[in-house]
Amino acid sequence: MTPQDAAAAPEAPVAEDPIKAQNAQVLALLTRLFGEGTFTDVHEPYGLLTATTTRERIHDIIAGLQQDQELKFHFLTTMCGINYPENPGQELGMIYHLHSMTKNIRLRLKIFFPIADPVVPTLTDLYNTANWMEREAYDFFGIIFTGHPNLIRILNVEDMDYHPMRREYPVEDGTREDKTDLFFGR
Amino acid sequence: MAVNDALAGTHKIQEEAAAQRPGQLMPILNDFSQELTTLNLGPTHPATHGIFQNILQMDGERIVSGVPTIGYIHRAFEKLAERKPFYQITTLTDRMNYCSSPINNLGWHMTVEKLLGVTVPKRAQYIRVIMMELARIADHLICNSILGVDTGAFTGFLYVFQEREKIYEIYEEVCGARLTTNMGRVGGMERDLSPAALDKLRAWLKSFPAVMKEFENMFNRNRIFMDRVVNVGPISAEKALSYGFTGPNLRAAGVDYDVRAMNPYSSYEDFEFDIPVGTNGDTYDRFIVRNEEIWQSLRIINQALDKLPDGPYHADAPHYYLPTKPEVYKNMEALIYHFKIVMGEIDAPVGEVYHSVEGGNGELGFYLISDGGRTPYRLHFRRPCFIYYQAYPEMAVGTTLSDAIVILSSMNVIAGELDA
């Protein structure tokens, strides 16, 4: 570095984090495509752009992202259910991880809905891989995917009568006393 | 090859047979063609390499439809993980893809480190790379040599299993275990590479290429083997992406997606390696891609060993990294931290992390949501086999039973990971 460079360096703008810049670009494109107010609670934990939307819009949004020539979210990395019993009206949720391999952008979309009405549109018409992922979410959280060709349990036995990943079912039998620990609250 | 229309194919065979023998009636064949046989392939069939079932509808030798049933060894890892402190979850990850458990272990540690914001020193990262590439070699060796067994060639399997044994001996020096390794710790490695481990590793690096060369000589251009695998179970790149294929199976279809190159972790950006791709995604391509990846992994190990930096083998993160035993006995702070870590009394920050590593058979992802407690609020494993195994019926329909076995074998479906 020459002395001139050293002198100029402090005035030069601080190089922006490339991931942040990319996320900002993607977010701008998302709001342009799907309108203001579609996405709430936008943040980027550990560099992965995360947004919450509604179950009414989720199918259109993911279909739009898949077809968008600029972003090309051709790859559904994974999806999983989640249960927050303390959020009334939004107890259950689905979390989608999309990946654009051409641009190497990842995107996380979330939807939340009441546990009394756990109905979500299917993505099996967009991605073949959604089939088993949705069966898994149905199996463990009881989320119903409308339009799914074969929504039956996948990992648990068919005659199971509850959805075990919901928070109301503890891992251990609550009535057992031999495992109680005064200090560590087993 | 007409993959999809099995029935039409069978009728065509019959018509050809009838044309060859004019005047002869073939009532028996025609009767059978109307009737399908149900065949249970599995759950405990020696050729399925794990406990999963396929209910096949067969028209003679051809498969008309297949319905896979999975979940025979489902152990509720995601539910269990909600009750376990972070370091105890490592042992759950072992039992997913048990052919390459170090990748699962270290991938999990990296996820937690990302959540905690711990930076691992270079030496530990390089050791991790070496161990993960060894695991990849072991994984691919099993898959490819078993594919040989399924086509009737036992020799290759027995031959490379010796090499896998040597890899397991290196694991033993690094972590004390062989199959379910529980390797490394959050914040680095559990111990440094010992002189014995380095010796074993160097000796193996010298002896293995010759064996691998011979294995390739036995299979790659073998007429009998090629007749069994070329154009068997092909899948197009579009279909493979839609089905969520990753790893060697996707690369065999011609997509050069590799997590190590696209989103480098653990200093993979420091090494030079090629990503082999196939052209038509058939069983032969999958086999060849895996073989080539073994050579690339060897390249990475050699580079990592040459450039292995000096320095600590774990991060200076006393809140998360277990102190050494002599220190626990002598030092009050070390004793406190030891106690707190073992009892799971260290809270993690609130946040959510998705971290993925290139596993033996694809992108192995960990999606961790922490609400600030001692355990994850939710942990979801993106298990590559669970996701791509659903393409199996489509790939098997229209083929014969013996081809279906070969396709299954070349997809590298590991039951532990399938069912988690």
Region of residue B51 (phi > 0: left; psi between -120 and 50: alpha; otherwise: beta): beta
The DSSP secondary-structure symbol of A162 reads S
* A8 band by pLDDT with thresholds 50, 70 and 90: very low
**Nearest residue in chain A measured CA to CA from B374:** A184
> Which position has the higher pLDDT, B320 or B4?
B320
d(CA A93, CA A61): 16
Q: Is residue B368 part of a domain?
A: yes
Mind spelling out the 3-state secondary structure of chain B?
CCCCCHHHHHHHHHHHHHHHCCCCCCHHHHHHHCCCEEEEECCCCHHHCCCCEEEEEEECCEEEEEEEECCCCCCCHHHHHCCCCHHHHHHHHHCCCCCCHHHHHHHHHHHHHHHHCCCCCHHHHHHHHHHHHHHHHHHHHHHHHHHHHHCCCCHHHHHHHHHHHHHHHHHHHHHCCCCCCCCCECCECCCCCCHHHHHHHHHHHHHHHHHHHHHHHHHCCCHHHHHHHCCCCCCCHHHHHHCCCCHHHHHHCCCCCCHHHHCCCCCHHHCCCCCCCCCCCCHHHHHHHHHHHHHHHHHHHHHHHHHCCCCCCECCCCCCCCCCHHHHHHCHHHHHHHHHHHCCCCCCCEEEEEEEEECCCCEEEEEEEEECCCCCCEEEEECHHHHHHHHHHHHHCCCEHHHHHHHHHHCCCCHHHHHC
| CA pair distance B150, B413, nearest whole angstrom | 14
pLDDT grade for B22, boundaries at 50, 70 and 90 = low
DSSP A46: G
Judge if B170 and B59 occupy the same domain. Answer: no
How many separate domains does chain B show?
A: 2
B188 and B58 in a common domain: no
Q: CA angle B326-B332-B336, nearest 5°?
A: 95
Residue of B256, B356, B387, B392 to mutate for A, most A C-beta atoms under 10 A: B387
Q: Domain residues of chain A, as ranges?
A: 17-146
The answer to whether residue B350 neighbours chain A at the CB level (below 8 Å) is no
Contact state of A46 with B78 under an 8 Å Cβ cutoff: no
Interval B141-160: pLDDT, tens = 999 999 999 998 899 999 99
Cβ–Cβ gap A97/B354 under 8 Å: yes
Q: Are residues B86 and B29 in the same domain?
A: no
Q: Which helix (H) or strand (E) holds A30?
A: helix A18-34
Residue B209 shares a structural domain with residue B275: yes
pLDDT band at A14 (very low <50, low <70, confident <90, very high): low
> Does residue B124 sit in the same domain as residue B53?
no
In a domain, B1, yes or no: no
In a shared domain, residues B354 and B390: yes
What is the extent of the structural domain holding B401? 77-419
Confidence band, pLDDT 50/70/90 cuts, at residue B33? low
Q: Does residue B113 sit within a domain?
A: yes
Q: State the pLDDT at residue B268.
A: 94
Please identify, among B36, B69, B102, the residue that sits at the C-terminal boundary of a domain: B69
Q: Report the CATH fold assignment for A17-146.
A: Beta Polymerase; domain 2 (3.30.460)
| Domain final residue, candidates B17, B34, B69 | B69
Over 50: is that where the pLDDT of B349 sits? yes
Strand (E) or helix (H) holding A108: strand A105-113
What are residue A95's DSSP bridge partners? A80, A110
* Interaxial angle between packed helices B122-150 and B283-307, expressed in degrees from 0 to 180 and rounded to the nearest 10: 150
**Which pLDDT does position B49 carry in this prediction?**
75
Q: Are the beta carbons of B110 and B265 closer than 8 angstroms? A: yes
What local confidence, expressed as pLDDT, does residue A37 receive? 84
Q: Is the pLDDT of residue B272 over 90?
A: yes
Residue-level pLDDT at A68: 87
Is A111 a residue whose pLDDT tops 90?
yes
Q: How confident is the model at residue B10 (pLDDT cuts 50, 70, 90)?
A: low
Judge whether residue B407 has pLDDT over 90: yes
Residues B97 and B52 in one domain: no
Pair (B126, B216) in one structural domain: yes
**B325 assigned to some structural domain:** yes
State residue A110's pLDDT score.
Answer: 95
Best of A23, A78, A139, A186 to mutate (most B CBs within 10 Å, chain B): A78
ipTM: 0.86
Strands B62-69 and B53-59: antiparallel
Burial of B155 (0-12, 13-18, 19+ CB in 10 A): middle
- Cβ–Cβ below 8 Å for A154 and B343: no
Check residue B34 and give its pLDDT: 64
Query: How far is Cα B267 from Cα B241, in angstroms, rounded to an integer?
Result: 27
* Residue B17 sits in the same domain as residue B54: yes
- Is the model's pLDDT at B286 over the cut of 90? yes
Nearest CA in chain B to A126: B242
Is A172 within 8 Å of chain B by CB? Answer: yes
- Given a cut of 60, whether residue B9 has pLDDT beyond it is no
Q: Is the peptide bond before B248 cis (omega within 30 degrees of 0)?
A: no
User: Is the pLDDT reported for residue B8 higher than 60?
Assistant: no
Check pLDDT > 70 for residue B312.
yes
* pLDDT tens string B328-339: 999 999 999 999
| Integer angstrom CA distances of residue B376 from A186, B274, B321 | 16, 36, 18
The closest of B48, B33, B8, B55 to B393, measured between CA atoms, is: B55
- Pairing assessment for the beta strands B37-41 and A92-100 based on DSSP bridges: unpaired
Residue A2 above 90 pLDDT? no
Mark yes or no for CB contact B387/A129 under 8 Å: yes
Domain CATH number, residue B241: 1.10.645.10
B95 part of contact set with chain A, CB < 8 Å: no
Whether residues B61 and B81 share a domain: the answer is no
Name A112's bridge partners: A93
Same domain as B48, residue B97: no
Across residues B325-330, what is the average pLDDT?
Answer: 92
Within this chain, do residues B46 and B137 fall inside the same structural domain, yes or no? no
Q: What is the pLDDT of residue A71?
A: 85
Q: Is B65 on the interface with A (CB under 8 A)?
A: no
